[in-house]
Amino acid sequence: ADEVAARYKSGKKATHNPVHLMRSNEGSSINQVVVVSSGYRDKAGTPLIEGMSIQGGELALGKDLLTAFMPWSGYNFEDAIIISRKLVEDDTLTSIHIVDYMTEVRETKLGPEIVTRDIPNVSEESLRHLDEDGIVRIGAEVHPGDILVGKITPKGEQELSSEERLLRAIFGEKAKEVRDTSQRMSTGRHGKVVGVKVFSRASGHELKAGVIMQIQVFVAQMRKISVGDKLGGRHGNKGVIARILPVEDMPFNEDGTPIDIVLNPLGVPSRMNIGQLFETHLGMAAQALGIKVASPAFNGVPIGKIQDLLKEAGLPADGKQQLYDGRTGEAFSERTTVGSMYIIKLNHMVSDKIHARSTGPYTMVTQQPLGGKAQNGGQRFGEMEVWALEAYGAAHTLQEMLTIKSDDVYGRAKAYEAIIKGTTIQGTKGHERFHVMVKEL
């Protein structure tokens, strides 16, 4: 439903509209659903509409997962986490993210920029998602490099060649030079266009000085959980996924139920956040008894009460179970702490952080590569990394890092030439940072 009309006892009527696929400040999707039906009656305070982090009127940010505290062949070393492929296939930890791309159409000294489908030197294949105005259609599946908004900018007049003069004479002003300044999907991103907003001076919108039109395109992406994503619990017990195992390789208990997530027991003693263990035991007892437990902060369920609930559920009072290795079917030598823990997917995802660069932009002054993913920068090779190479005696790698991979302009041009010709890369000529220092002095 797109609307809820409610009539209150006082006779007052109100209409509520749920939000669909709205972008939050964190880039996640705000999607609301109506949880009542026509003719529904209830008391004040009952939710009519629920959002993506509310269920039954309560905060619901994560999922209850069957958790085991045990080492697993070193893969959960240092807070790393092992999860079952079942969580990927069932979309248990899948989230929807929305990225907005803003395009500004400006008035330039050479004339206004134009939003159009008619872009020079661009194939029809690249224009397949655009409507007749040059703006991407809602529902289009877009990939890196795809055009979202077609835009051309007038180019400065320059000396015309004889061929260009001929074209100008035949076609008149049409052959005037324009640059392709279209808005494209950024690298490493893909998704579905879920919304387009157009603001223009002609329609009475207030825009920045020099801006004629502003176009906002919203692209939604469904992200399944993957290696490198970060998960956390309610007790500051966070970690990064190191391995996603097939369900058949996960440890399983005596009734054959495979574990969902394996945490390292060494993450508990030194940090002393044993609340996660109480939560695990209490979750196991509550799940077995089919009851709901609300345990307030600073006044939680006593250990004795948890043990009583475990006994009532027919489970061992210490909360441990015999688990079996999914790879071999053999029983593990020790019994394992197993239970239900509330796990939350955090906003640190590997797809936002992964980055690589071959050649790219350089700083104007020092001629060293820029930094950061946003600028297609290089990885910083700092003092301590240099010491590591020195300690290993990796002389050639060290020289490369400090010269042709950094700010030796002549050397990197020669290295490129040598790679193209298939010859040996020769010595270097020195670095730009030295020249900058000399000029400064």
Residue 66 CA to residue 122 CA, distance in Å, equals: 52
Q: If pLDDT is split at 50, 70 and 90, which confidence band does 313 have?
A: very high
Given a contact cutoff of 8 angstroms between Cβ atoms, the answer to whether 182 and 116 are in contact is no
Both tokens assigned to 267: 């993450």
Amino acid identity, position 232: G
**What DSSP assignment string belongs to 42-97?**
--TT--SEE-TTEETTEE--SEEEEEEE---TTTT-TTEEEEETHHHHTTTT-EEE
Mean pLDDT score of the chain, rounded to an integer? 91
Among 33-42, 172-181, 260-269, 402-411, name the one with the lowest average pLDDT: 172-181
Which residues make beta-bridge pairs with 197? 216
Residue 174 CA to residue 185 CA, distance in Å, equals: 29
Instruction: Say what the pLDDT of residue 157 is.
Output: 64
List pLDDT tens digits, range 350-363. 988 998 998 899 99
Residue with tokens 């409507």: 131
Q: What is the Cα 214 distance to its own chain's centre?
A: 26
Instruction: Name the fold adopted by 61-94+227-345.
Output: 2.40.270
Strand-strand pairing, 4-7 and 13-16: antiparallel
Closest among 171, 144, 149 to 160, alpha carbons compared: 171
Residue 316 CA to residue 335 CA, distance in Å, equals: 11
List pLDDT tens digits, range 245-271. 999 999 999 999 999 999 999 999 999
Instruction: Say what the pLDDT of residue 239 is.
Output: 97
Query: What's the length of the chain?
Result: 441
pLDDT higher than threshold 60 for residue 173: no
pLDDT higher than threshold 90 for residue 426: no
Strand-strand pairing, 80-84 and 239-245: parallel
Residue 263 CA to residue 286 CA, distance in Å, equals: 21
Closest among 184, 182, 217, 187 to 199, alpha carbons compared: 217
**What DSSP assignment string belongs to 296-341?**
-TTS---HHHHHHHHHHTT--TT-EE--B-TTT-PBPSS-EEEEEE
Question: Is the whole-model pTM more than 0.75?
Answer: yes
Residue 258 CA to residue 90 CA, distance in Å, equals: 14
3-class SS of residue 171: helix
State mean pLDDT over 389-417.
93
3-class SS of residue 105: strand
Tell which CATH architecture fits domain 99-220.
Beta Barrel (2.40)
CA atoms within 13 A on the CB side of 180: 17
Residue 247 CA to residue 88 CA, distance in Å, equals: 11
Instruction: Say what the pLDDT of residue 158 is.
Output: 65
As annotated, the residues of the chain forming the CATH 2.40.50.100 domain(s) are: 1-60
List pLDDT tens digits, range 58-75. 999 999 999 999 999 999
List pLDDT tens digits, range 91-103. 999 999 999 999 9
Residue 250 CA to residue 240 CA, distance in Å, equals: 18
Q: If pLDDT is split at 50, 70 and 90, which confidence band does 174 have?
A: low
Closest among 107, 109, 131 to 118, alpha carbons compared: 131
List pLDDT tens digits, range 176-233. 678 899 999 988 889 999 999 999 988 888 989 999 999 999 999 999 999 999 999 9
Both tokens assigned to 100: 């907005």
The Cβ of residue 225 has, within 10 Å, a number of other Cβ atoms equal to 20
The Cβ of residue 265 has, within 10 Å, a number of other Cβ atoms equal to 14
As annotated, the residues of the chain forming the CATH 2.40.50.150 domain(s) are: 99-220
**What DSSP assignment string belongs to 200-226?**
ETTTT----TTEEEEEEEEEEEEE---
Q: If pLDDT is split at 50, 70 and 90, which confidence band does 160 have?
A: low
Domain 1-60 coded CATH 2.40.50.100: yes
Q: What is the Cα 414 distance to its own chain's centre?
A: 38
> Nearest 5°: CA angle at 46, between 44 and 50?
145
As annotated, the residues of the chain forming the CATH 2.40.270.10 domain(s) are: 61-94+227-345
Question: What percent of the chain shows pLDDT beyond 90?
Answer: 68
Closest among 104, 145, 105, 151 to 126, alpha carbons compared: 145
State mean pLDDT over 284-303.
93
Amino acid identity, position 17: N
List pLDDT tens digits, range 130-141. 999 999 999 999
